[in-house]
Amino acid sequence: MKGDIILLSEKHIHAAEIIVSQIAEKVKTKPSRFVITVAGESGSGKSETGLAIANALEKLEINSVLLGQDDYFFLPPKSNTAKRRADPDWLGPHVEVNFGVFEQNLIDAVSGSSEITKPQVDYNANKIEKETISLEGIKVIIAEGTYTSLLKHVDIKVFIARNWLKTLEDRKKRNRGNEVNDPFTENILAIEHKIIAGHKQLADFVINDDFEVSMVA
């Protein structure tokens, strides 16, 4: 998302290095591009962990592209929030998020396309633009976002098991649109928590509240 600032801390870097150390050989030996998803609740550290994984891969001379679910909503952020307030049913992965385009971008990437054209949200301008990303020399696609565990054509799934109550301080730091002080938004996050509660079971790697990584057998 245009204008997003991602600040990495040691916990993100350490978790990413553990994950990359476990999957590096699989990445290198897969004939086509490798896809990783990083899912979890709002403020859990998805964007940071995704970027940290990209950086850890780069140290191994493996190039990657990071795709954020925030760019794939049908409506730009402020319009989406207004729609949520007006329509109680306007919530969830297959309602708000354009998974058709997201999936197609992954399919194109895995099939060897030299570029993909994807949506790009401008948060401040409250609009959705398009951007074309070159995939020349790219080996890994990292897709991060609340519901990305549901994406297909994925090799490794990472889930950050920190709920919206535990992520309060992280959400305060970014505080998009004063969301932390909005009871409506907090209620939305509680509902999202229930929606993705079972997504932990889909993961290959789980990151806990202390950002310790465990590999799911």
Q: How far apart are CA 179 and CA 44, in angstroms?
A: 15
Stretch 131-137: mean pLDDT, rounded? 98
CATH of the domain at 211: 3.40.50.300
- Identify the pLDDT of residue 2: 82
Cα-based distances in Å from 90 to 56, 64, 182, 188: 37, 33, 18, 11
- Identify the pLDDT of residue 3: 72
Q: For 70-125, what is each residue's pLDDT tens digit? A: 999 999 999 999 999 999 899 999 999 999 999 999 999 999 999 999 999 999 99
How many domains does one find in the chain? 1
- Its domain, for residue 160, covers 10-215
pTM: 0.91
Cα-based distances in Å from 38 to 53, 157, 200: 10, 6, 11
Is residue 3 domain-resident?
no
Stretch 144-170: mean pLDDT, rounded? 87
Is residue 4 domain-resident?
no
Stretch 36-50: mean pLDDT, rounded? 95
Q: How far apart are CA 142 and CA 57, in angstroms?
A: 11
Mean pLDDT of the chain: 92
Is residue 1 domain-resident?
no
